[in-house]
Amino acid sequence: MLDWAKGEKMYLSNIKLSNFRNYNALSTELSSNINIIIGDNAQGKTSLLEAVYVLARGKSYKNTMSEIISWNRESSLLEGTFHKQYYKDHVRISLNKPNKSAIYINDKKANKRSALWEKIQVVLFSPEDLKMIKEGPDLRRKFIDSGLNNTKPSYGNVLRDYSRALYQRNNLLKSLRRSNYGKETLEVWDQQLVHLGQKIIISRINFLKKINSITKEIHYTLTNKQEELKLFYISNIIKNGEDIDHLEEVYKKKFRQNLERDIQKGYTSIGPHVDDIRVTINDFDAKTYGSQGQQRTAALSLKLSEIELIKSEIDENPIILLDDVMSELDVKRQEKIIKYFESSQVFITCTEMNFEDFLENFNKKIYTIERGQIVKET
């Protein structure tokens, strides 16, 4: 059985915002357990959740950093103090238009966002995540990349470098449709993509190997021992992890085979950016044959397993962000998900609170948001 109380607790004790989204100024203390943010749409409840994410990751999950600066303002400032058992880190992030940002940890400037990733773990749940099984492969790739970023901070740098090289190669492919000028530089981008792409593929395959047994047990519990969940990595370079020892060789060969097609289409047609994860329930494809309820429960199992893997890999309970997810779940799933998070700091956004009965024994704070201000705190 999984030990959900395992892991050192991490929490954000306070937050201060200036010119962030619709918050001109905000400063408040936070609960180390449950923080409920209530408000109508477009009042700022999701923006407050986003601010916690930005402090932990050094980036937004919704827009570029310049776009989260308040309208008609040139700069923004976010501050917060993260705690673990034996130490704390004060994080300050300054944003300036057009697209400049600086991260300070304990008043020392960090050169890269990964300095935050090495210290702070956060897991975001959004309504989009519940569509992970039903929708396209980009959401499933996003899930696996998020898990790897939390357990292996250097992975984010590889993913970023891969995206940059992919962008350059795609631009070159589009120009080659008109002229052969610059074709000799294609091999440079091919080499970079093969080098970085194989790292991503191997990391993802190993991640799924680790998480499969965790996901299986969580899903078994959520479905009252009725369903068995399995995950398979679907690569367009190799099949089911076969020939992984020859990945680089196979990768280069497929690049050569697909070159003319890539030039015609103007983009790179193979690589980890188009890979997928196949999810099965009782050996049936969940995307094709699963009901909406089964697909949502499977997505929930995947996100919960990400949290459990973080705890087992680095012995920490990550901060949990639930962005309007509770309204998408039935009462039974609401109760179970709250129980899973009893040892974590949780931020929950909602338009109305219909799950208060599950929170009687929790240390909690409730914030009511209107027009970028906390108008009530209990």
Give pLDDT tens digits for 20-35: 999 999 999 999 999 9
CATH numbers and ranges of domains, the chain: 1-121+319-378 (3.40.50.300), 129-317 (1.20.1050.90)
In eight-state DSSP terms, residue 300 is H
DSSP per residue, 135-148: S-HHHHHHHHHHHH
pTM of the predicted structure, to 2 decimals: 0.86
Structural contact between residues 66 and 95, judged by C-beta atoms closer than 8 angstroms: yes
Helix axes of 137-151 and 292-314: crossing angle, nearest 10 degrees: 20
Q: Residue 121: which residues within 8 A CB-CB, separation 6 or more?
A: 10, 56, 150, 310, 314, 316, 318, 319
User: Taking 80 as the threshold, does the pLDDT of residue 230 lie above it?
Assistant: yes
User: Taking 90 as the threshold, does the pLDDT of residue 356 lie above it?
Assistant: no
User: Taking 80 as the threshold, does the pLDDT of residue 8 lie above it?
Assistant: no
Report how far apart, in Å, the C-alpha atoms of 269 and of each of 141, 183, 189, 262, 357 are. Answer: 16, 17, 14, 6, 51
Q: With cut-offs at 50, 70 and 90, classify the pLDDT of residue 1.
A: very low
Q: Which helix (H) or strand (E) holds 346?
A: strand 346-350
How far the first Cα of the chain sits from its last, in Å, is: 36
| Amino acid identity for residue 321 in this structure | L
Q: Cα torsion at 184, 186, 188, 192 (round to 10°)?
A: -170
